[in-house]
Amino acid sequence: MSTESQPQLSAAELAKLDDGFMGHPTPLRPLFFTEMWERFSYYSIRPLLVLFMVATVSNGGFGFDETTASAIYGIFAGSLYLAAVPGGWLADNWLGQERALWWGSIVIALGHLCIALSAMFGMTLFFIGLMFIVMGSGLFKTCISVMVGALYPKGDGRRDAGFTLFYMGINVGSLLAALIVGVFKEGEMWHLGFGVGGIGMLVSLLIYRFSARKTLNYYARAKNINPEWEQISGRFHNVGRWVTGIMALLALLVILIAFGIMPFSPVLVAQYMTYTIATVVLLYFLVMFISPRLSSADKKRLLVCFLLIIGSTLFWSSFDQQPTSFNLFADRYTDLDVMGFSIPSIWFQSLNPFFILLLAPIVSILWVKLNNRGLEPNSMVKFAMGMLLAAAGFGLMVMASKSILVAPGALASPLWLVGSLFLLTLGELALSPVGLSSMTRLAPEGMQGQIMGLFFASVAMGNLVAAFFGGFVTADKIEGLPSLFSIMALFLVVTAVILLLLSKPMSKMIKNSSNIKM
């Protein structure tokens, strides 16, 4: 990292460094803004993708059907989170967290540039841009989460609250993005909306380069610690050559598909991706459970990670209906005329980040207060709470979809979506930041990036499943929505009950084997 000498700081200065950002370590501030602008870039294009692809060619879109567009979105979003697995491995074993995040930022920025320029150079460049965003995000996402986790030593009760605060940065970016690109969508200025995301990524890159890296290095020297974000295992050699070879094969694949030499069915690819991800995650944990390299305590902690990852998959398969079925439902079946003002349908995508900004500080304080009193629920209980809240949100969507079926041609009240998204947001706050925190706390030494990548793989599977169901929001399939939403709510409730039943014995097992709070 740095060969500079350790700064000589007074006790008061060290204390300020350790709680200088709303009671949390000072480096959390630039990491907060780095993540905020990276998420702004992603959420600038996310709500536009499906609507852009289903728009007719005369309106500037691709003219795809809903099923194909939803499948393509699912492949993109699923691949983006799936890429966190190899991205985390590369960070652990080749680049280090710091360099991986830097290069990931650059690749994401190039992806946004390609998408913006595709208006002039065609559809192929658009999909190349999506691929760049996927590859860059694979490096970026695991690394910044590991850096946040490394700011809190073992046993620090602020960890979950810190991740909840960090999570607010994601949602500030998401809120701003939805409000801005909603205007471009209404004017069918698709590529200008996509270009806004590129500006956000450039801001993120500059904040990391000129603020976050400097603050992190200063913090590590002042605290006299060997930071986790610089540790590389060194067990593997010639990794760079393998990466170059894989990139060459990927480029060849793009050429074959672009020229029509190799057929490509988005729906089939999305389905097989789901099966492949599930198989890879199961095999990974199976290998780790029988590996002699890990201790018994490590394997018990991995078991909890595995259970939380299963729960995360089911949660995100419901939550990520927002850019697909919820987005199409708002655009086609919701009354957008409120007091004479026509609401852009994409603005509903801003409700989730708005609610998080409103509620996250409250939840963060709540976890700290409960921790101080010894009453804070463990990770599995928090996950179960999140699932039950999400199930209630889908209960509202069941009633919303029934309201438009009983009166053909009627439009649903926007309050159904508002209420559903409010409950889904409460569920997200109980699950997602806690999941990030749990992965950094429970991951065995030297495996932080990989375990974080597997957690993001659960989000990938959730996105793919959500995209598949999102294709049902069409005129000829709308009658199936009440059953669809009911089934999703039922799965969430059943999984929540299972996690609640397992929470106490698993927590006791972890505490007895490694003295780590679950």
Decide: 386 and 428 in contact? Cβ < 8 Å: yes
Q: What is the predicted pLDDT for the residue at 272? A: 86
Query: For the residues 295-301, what does the mean pLDDT come to?
Result: 84
Query: For the residues 312-321, what does the mean pLDDT come to?
Result: 83
Ranking 88-97, 255-264, 268-277, 509-518 by mean pLDDT, the lowest is 509-518
446: alpha, beta or left, given left = phi > 0 and alpha = psi -120 to 50? left
Q: What is the predicted pLDDT for the residue at 332? A: 81
Tell which wins on pLDDT, 78 or 127.
127
Decide: 88 and 142 in contact? Cβ < 8 Å: yes
Go through the chain and tell me how many residues it has.
518
Task: Give the count of beta carbons closer than 10 Å to the beta carbon of residue 404.
Answer: 22
Is pLDDT at 1 greater than 50 in this prediction?
A: no
Task: Fold for 24-514, please state it.
Answer: Growth Hormone; Chain: A; (1.20.1250)
Residue 24 three-state SS: strand
Report which of 443, 510, 462 is spatially closest to residue 89, judged by C-alpha positions.
443
Q: Is this structure's pTM higher than 0.85? A: no
Task: Give the count of beta carbons closer than 10 Å to the beta carbon of residue 28.
Answer: 27
Q: What is the predicted pLDDT for the residue at 32? A: 93
Q: What percentage of residues in the chain have a pLDDT greater than 90? A: 17
Query: For the residues 320-349, what does the mean pLDDT come to?
Result: 80
Is pLDDT at 226 greater than 80 in this prediction?
A: no
Is pLDDT at 269 greater than 80 in this prediction?
A: yes
Q: What is the predicted pLDDT for the residue at 474? A: 58
Tokens of 319: 């939550």
Q: What is the predicted pLDDT for the residue at 471? A: 60
Query: For the residues 361-389, what does the mean pLDDT come to?
Result: 85
pLDDT, averaged across the chain? 83
Ranking 44-48, 54-58, 103-107, 295-299 by mean pLDDT, the lowest is 54-58
Ranking 176-190, 225-239, 467-481 by mean pLDDT, the lowest is 467-481
Query: For the residues 15-34, what does the mean pLDDT come to?
Result: 87
Q: What is the predicted pLDDT for the residue at 477? A: 65
Decide: 277 and 460 in contact? Cβ < 8 Å: yes
Report which of 391, 473, 455, 400 is spatially closest to residue 424, judged by C-alpha positions.
391
Given CA atoms 252, 258, 261, 264 in this order, what sign does their dihedral have?
A: positive
Q: What is the predicted pLDDT for the residue at 228? A: 62
Tokens of 274: 């789901």
Q: What is the predicted pLDDT for the residue at 206? A: 93
Chain centroid offset of residue 508 CA = 30
Give CA–CA dist 344/148, Å, rounded: 35
Tokens of 491: 């799965």
Decide: 376 and 363 in contact? Cβ < 8 Å: no
Task: Give the count of beta carbons closer than 10 Å to the beta carbon of residue 87.
Answer: 29
